[in-house]
Structures are given as structure tokens and as C-alpha cells.
Structure 1
């Protein structure tokens, strides 16, 4: 069990990833936001949230890219817009998180999602990693 102050510091870094997912974020930057060393931050983050900071950030990026792909963006443009630095790593992370490739996700119909209020669509389309 982590103490409340540690959790508050970790939330600062997690909130930064949620807000600035398209920015170049790395563990030292996130650790500084949480007032921790990079290795301590990585251990504490994983203990608190059950995944590494990088995995959390990639899930947020994939989640945001899903919305862009539903709008018809190309895979490359969506990848770039969400801050992924490599199309290859993005394209391999996407199916690991969603269960399908970005182009397969983009090409299938999303009519039900478009009919939902945005707040409901965000919850229902949030990817859950397959492990």
C-alpha cells in the first residue's frame, strides 16, 4: 500500500500523460513531475497502476488515435498527431492494446459510436490491453 503523498505525486505524472500525450514524454520528465528518481518512479507507478509509465502513455496515445482513425485520418497522420515517434512501434502497440491493426480498425464501420454522445463513446471505446 502506497502512502497518499506518493499517490498524489504519481497522479501528477499520470495527469500530465493524459493531458500532454502528444508531447515527447519520457520517464525522467515524468519522474521529475512526481518528485522522484526515474527508477523509483517507474517502480512506484507500476505498483500503483499495474503497468509501466510507457505502457500507460501508449494506451492513451492509442485511445486518442482511435478517435482520429474513426474520423478517417490515415494511420500515419494519426500516429504523428498523438505523439508516437515511430510508425512501426505504434503499429505494433495498437493491436496489442486493441486486438486489431490500425488500418483494420480504421476500415471497419463505426456507426454505433458516431450515434453515441461523446462522453459515452469515450468510455465504451477505451482500449483495454490484451496481455
Structure 2
């Protein structure tokens, strides 16, 4: 007999499925209606419940996820900022630069000048450098 779940647990699982899809396919052209279909809710309900559950809108979460990946690529490759911008899912260099600066606090080109990532375990370096959705500096 399968375990009994409450409606809230089921709704949370569906939201997690949508967030996992965003994590896996962050570079693809994702939209709220498609993500809402994954969660089996209306787009408006998806936005409200995602924000209530995770503390930010689906769009902001996706932007932050893309910027997080761009941060890694900027400091671990010599690829151009434009190539990285397109590879992480932004369609405009201007939008990428604005969003990156809003989240990280400096433009991508300045962030890149910090040099290569330190020789520490990747999980530690990524957690230290992960941009926060709550306005705190990385690593705080």
C-alpha cells in the first residue's frame, strides 16, 4: 500500500519537480506556463506558490541559477562574456550584464578579473560564491 500524502505534500512535490526542471534545463527557453504545467497548476497559482515556498519568483530563481552558472564559467574558462551569456540561457548581452550586476554586485567583466577559482572542493567554492536571493554578499 502506498504511503498516504496530504494535499500540501503533493503540491510541494509538484513545485519541486518544476524547480528541478529549471535546474536541469536552465539554459533552455523556459516559460511560466510550461513550468506551471509540470506542477499541474495555473500559471498565476504557480507564481504565487513558488514565491511563497522558495522566497522568490520563478523568473528570479531562473535568472539566479543562470548567473550562478555564468559565474563559474567566467572564472574557469577563457570563453567570451557573450558566448557565456548565450550558453547559460540569456538572449541579450545587455540583459545578461544588467541581471548579473544586480545579483552579483559587479559586471561580468569585473567579476572575471578576480582570476581562476581557488583550488578547493568545487562544492565549497560554489556555495561560497553562490549569489543570494536575499541581498547578502556571496559567502555570508
TM-score scaled by length of structure 1: 0.91
Q: What residue number does 1:119 align with?
A: 123
- Select 2:37's aligned residue among 14, 32, 35: 32
SS in 1 for 2:12: helix
Structure 1 position 117, deviation (Å): 1.4
**Alignment of 1:67 onto 2:79:** no
Structure 1 position 72, deviation (Å): 2.3
- Select 1:93's aligned residue among 94, 99, 102: 99
**Alignment of 1:106 onto 2:84:** no
* Structure 2: gaps (5+ residues): 1-6
Give 4+ residue runs of structure 1 displaced > 4 Å after superposition. Answer: none
Count of matched residue pairs: 128
* Higher Cα radius of gyration: 2
* Structure 1: gaps (5+ residues): none
CA-based RMSD of the aligned residues comes to 1.5
**Superposition pairs for residues 5-20 of structure 1, below 5 Å?**
5-20=10-25
